[in-house]
């Protein structure tokens, strides 16, 4: 028997370990385990850095487990921004490169998105993981196989392409396709993007397709259509009292809180307290901490979709571990003034689809909502209640008439319909505009006997004879009448910035004059109107209507007020949503007039505190604002400018006449 010392034994063990190492099975953990064991979070995109911690995004666990399920072919995730969609993508990319190499196609909405994601997310993923660094070579030369859009590794590649570059998508068959922000990707000239994507995986029996996006408009959202095709899993928590799994949604019935508001430098500040979630099953109240620490999982509404290999998931923004409910409520209060901001809030913060209008907004319900504004001290019907602090007017010009609405405004966007009129005279006649002058100069009485005049009037210039409308607006500029033009293009601002307001030099038979033209984003205004009409509790942004028949708010008015729907329209660049006349409705003038009256208030931008103080300090019978007897200095300057322009034009015409005669 050999006597071996310790040194010799160690040498033998070292040699044997190298031999035995070759027989050890390769470490091939599933996606979830790989992320926990090997994924390193870069400090450039994570506040803490370090290893991947799935407890920060527990809703990502079932999604990653579905990716490892051989029965699943298509996975869809619809969730708010900043809730881990990109991290799931990066985990899939890292695991595929390291454990299951094959061709990967990553699709982003635009080429700029591709470059940004490659440099800011994919590059740190590889640089911070030694297993990936060993397989993806550094981009030190042109033939390294590592560029901004292509990363090569043993057994496969990662190709990043824009949805706009359909040729790159079409020419890249692969086993894994990842589409980031599907709702922001446009369809290709060859058809629907999802169809083209799924064709790329036909030659791979175990191919995986992953779609993710924040939701957009209901009915036109790509991620919504994929979600409905799948198992429709909703992330829920177990109620501490009844044990039911319920979904935390941002609704008046489920999320309750106390709020105090105060004004600072003309802006409202919100103090939120006592926020609780009310269980829809048993009515018990749970705090934010109790909801977020409760047992949570997905409940699926369409389990049959699993048989066809499609699973889908959605998560409410109230489960976001990086946002407090107080901060979400404050953002809601700040965004609810504007339909565009509210839509962005619902999509990106709550993860909910935006509905342009509610089925509850019907002419029948609005007719039933009319109310009595009461009597003035002298016993006459009041034109408006005491909450009205300012009046504006919106005028729609038609070929044979003018239609207008006088709208009252108060605190917090609350509005009162005051008067709706149809002036049955063509706009070419003096009679039409004289009738309008009677309304602009009229005193409207509150219930306390104090009277108000119209402070701002917006007149639409979409009528074919624009010059006539321009002239009539210019003649009434001292009455604060302005010319507007409706703009329905995507992204048009409801209230134009000063640089967007143009000065139109117009010449008619009376001479040359200059009128200011305000472009108005009417689509956003319509969103605002239907959002406000849907509010059923009197107060902030509630719409009041008078029952006094002389005010003009009859069935015809409400039929026109709800005359449009936000509907999908097929265009050359894909499906787009536009405001369209509903079936059974012919006229939309009441909707347009209210839109113009609302934007008139936004342009005027009253100081509500000052107006309320001024009105309260006045005597009943005193009118606000006081009737103007002379033009302001600014209006006098504008007159001089226009007179000089007119004189210059006349001198130029005389010069041309003289030159012609002499020649």
Residue-wise pLDDT for 545-566, tens only, equals 999 999 999 999 999 999 988 8
Q: 191-200 pLDDT, tens per residue?
A: 678 888 887 7
Instruction: Give this prediction's pTM.
Output: 0.68
Query: In this predicted model, what pLDDT tens digit does every residue of 267-295 receive, in sequence order?
Result: 778 899 999 999 999 999 999 999 999 99
Quick one: tokens of 201?
Answer: 């995986």
Q: Residue 658: its pLDDT value, please? A: 38
- Residue 419 above 90 pLDDT? yes
Structure tokens that stand for 62 in this block: 């079932």
pLDDT band at 580 (very low <50, low <70, confident <90, very high): confident
Mean predicted confidence (pLDDT) in 567-593: 80
Identify whether the C-beta of residue 332 lies closer than 8 Å to the C-beta of residue 250: yes
247: confidence class by pLDDT, cuts 50, 70, 90: very high
Residue 652's pLDDT band (cuts 50, 70, 90): very low
Confidence at residue 200, expressed as pLDDT on a 0 to 100 scale:
74
Residue 427 — φ and ψ, nearest 5°? -65, -15
Q: Which helix (H) or strand (E) holds 513?
A: strand 511-521
Burial of 364 from C-beta contacts in 10 A (0-12 / 13-18 / 19+): exposed
Q: CA 410, CA 331: separation in Å to the nearest integer?
A: 22
- Comparison of pLDDT for 637 and 546, the residue scoring more: 546
- Please give the pLDDT value at position 414: 94
Closest of 263, 270, 410 to residue 335, by C-alpha? 270
The closest of 336, 317, 615 to 455, measured between CA atoms, is 615
Name the pLDDT band for 431 (thresholds 50, 70, 90).
very high
Cβ neighbours of residue 612 closer than 8 Å, sequence gap 6 or more: 389, 411
Hey, CA dihedral for 67, 70, 74, 77, is it positive or negative?
Answer: negative
Q: Lowest-pLDDT range, 60-74, 179-193, 343-357, 368-382?
A: 179-193
Contact 51, 40 (CB under 8 A): yes
456 contacts 482 by C-beta, under 8 angstroms: yes
Look at residue 500 and tell me whether its pLDDT is greater than 70: yes
Dist. CA 180–CA 89, nearest whole Å: 8
Q: Using an 8 Å Cβ cutoff, are 555 and 363 in contact?
A: yes
pLDDT in the model for residue 660: 37
* 77 vs 184, residue with greater confidence: 77
Residue with tokens 């500029």: 477
Contact 370, 553 (CB under 8 A): yes
Match 């799935």 to its residue by tokens. 54
Residue 42 pLDDT class (50, 70, 90 cuts): confident
Q: How confident is the model at residue 301 (pLDDT cuts 50, 70, 90)?
A: very high
Q: Cα(298)–Cα(61) distance, rounded to whole angstroms?
A: 10
Per-residue pLDDT tens digits for 123-151: 999 998 889 999 997 765 555 568 889 99
Confidence tier at 645 by pLDDT (50, 70, 90)? very low
For residues 498 and 502, give the distance between their C-alpha atoms in angstroms, rounded to a whole number. Answer: 9
Residue 326 has pLDDT above 70, yes or no: yes
Residue entry with tokens 């064991």:
37
535 vs 430 pLDDT, higher one: 430
Q: Residue 662's pLDDT band (boundaries 50, 70, 90)?
A: very low
Distance CA 616, CA 606 (A): 16
Q: pLDDT band for position 165 (50/70/90)? A: confident
Residue 586 or residue 29, greater confidence: 29
CB 435 within 8 A of CB 371: no
Longest dimension (CA), the chain: 135
User: Rounded to whole angstroms, how far apart are CA atoms 174 and 164?
Assistant: 19
Q: What is the pLDDT of residue 4?
A: 59
Q: What is the mean pLDDT of the chain?
A: 85
Give the confidence band of 653 by pLDDT, cuts at 50, 70, 90: very low
Closest CA to 246 of 277, 275, 290, 279: 279
Please identify which residue in the block is written with the tokens 């302005």.
Answer: 482
Q: Say if residues 575 and 568 touch (Cβ distance below 8 Å).
A: yes
Give the per-residue pLDDT at 648. Answer: 47
User: For residue 416, what is the enclosing H or E element?
Assistant: strand 415-423
């Amino acid at each position: 028997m050999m006597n071996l010392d310790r040194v010799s034994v160690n040498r033998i063990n070292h040699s044997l370990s190298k031999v035995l190492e070759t027989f050890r099975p390769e470490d091939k953990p599933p996606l979830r385990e790989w992320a926990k064991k090997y994924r390193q979070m870069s400090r450039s995109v994570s506040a803490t850095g370090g290893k991947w911690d799935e407890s920060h995004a527990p809703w990502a666990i079932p999604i990653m487990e579905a990716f490892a399920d051989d029965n699943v072919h298509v996975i869809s995730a619809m969730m708010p921004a900043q809730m881990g969609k990109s991290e799931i993508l990066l985990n899939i990319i890292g695991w595929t490169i390291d454990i299951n190499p094959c061709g990967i196609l990553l699709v982003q909405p635009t080429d700029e998105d591709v470059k940004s994601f490659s440099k800011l997310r994919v590059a740190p993923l590889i640089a911070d993981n030694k297993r990936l660094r060993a397989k993806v070579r550094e981009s030190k030369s042109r033939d390294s196989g590592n560029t901004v859009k292509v990363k090569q590794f043993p057994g496969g590649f990662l190709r990043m392409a824009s949805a706009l570059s359909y040729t790159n998508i079409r020419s890249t068959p692969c086993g894994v396709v990842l589409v980031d922000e599907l709702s922001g990707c446009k369809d290709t000239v060859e058809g629907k993007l999802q169809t083209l994507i799924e064709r790329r995986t036909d030659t791979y029996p175990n191919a995986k397709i992953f779609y993710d996006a924040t939701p957009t408009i209901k009915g036109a959202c790509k991620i919504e259509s994929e979600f409905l095709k799948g198992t429709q899993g909703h992330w829920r928590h177990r109620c501490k009292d009844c044990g039911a799994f319920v979904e935390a949604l941002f609704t008046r019935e489920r999320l309750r809180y106390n709020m105090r508001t105060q004004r600072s430098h003309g802006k409202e500040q919100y103090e939120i307290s006592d926020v609780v979630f009310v269980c829809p099953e048993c009515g018990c109240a749970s705090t934010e901490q109790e909801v977020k620490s409760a047992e949570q999982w997905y409940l699926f509404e369409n389990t049959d979709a699993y048989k066809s290999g499609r699973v889908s998931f959605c998560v409410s923004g109230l489960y976001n571990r990086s946002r407090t409910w107080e901060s979400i409520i404050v953002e809601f209060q700040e965004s609810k003034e504007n339909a565009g901001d509210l839509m962005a809030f619902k999509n990106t913060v709550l993860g909910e689809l935006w509905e342009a209008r509610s089925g509850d907004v019907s002419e029948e319900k609005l007719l039933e909502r009319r109310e009595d504004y009461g009597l003035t001290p002298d016993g006459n019907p009041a034109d408006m209640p005491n909450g009205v602090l300012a009046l504006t007017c919106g005028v729609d010009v038609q070929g044979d008439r003018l239609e207008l609405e006088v709208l009252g405004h108060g605190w917090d966007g609350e509005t009162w319909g005051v008067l709706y009129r149809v002036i049955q005279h063509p706009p070419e006649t003096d009679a039409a505009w004289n009738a309008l002058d009677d309304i602009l100069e009229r005193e409207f009485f509150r219930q306390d006997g104090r009277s108000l005049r119209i402070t701002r009037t917006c007149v639409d210039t979409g009528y074919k004879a624009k010059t006539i409308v321009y002239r009539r607006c210019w003649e009434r500029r001292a009455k604060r009448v302005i010319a507007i033009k409706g703009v329905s293009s995507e992204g048009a601002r409801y209230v134009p910035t000063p640089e967007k307001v143009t000065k139109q030099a117009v010449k008619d038979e009376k001479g040359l004059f200059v009128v200011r033209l305000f472009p108005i984003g009417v689509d956003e205004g319509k969103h605002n109107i239907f959002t406000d009409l849907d509010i059923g509790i009197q107060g902030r942004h509630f719409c009041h209507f008078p029952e006094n028949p002389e005010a003009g708010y009859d069935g015809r008015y409400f039929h026109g007020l709800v005359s449009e729907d936000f509907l999908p329209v097929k265009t050359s660049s894909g499906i787009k949503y536009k405001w369209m006349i509903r079936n059974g409705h012919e006229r939309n003038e009441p909707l347009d007039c209210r839109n113009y009256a609302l934007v008139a208030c936004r342009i005027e931008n009253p100081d509500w505190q000052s107006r309320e103080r001024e009105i309260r300090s006045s005597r009943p019978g005193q009118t606000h604002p006081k009737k103007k007897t002379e033009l302001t200095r600014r209006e006098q300057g504008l007159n001089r400018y226009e007179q000089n322009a007119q004189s210059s034009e006349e001198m130029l015409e005389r010069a041309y006449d003289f030159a012609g005669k002499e020649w």
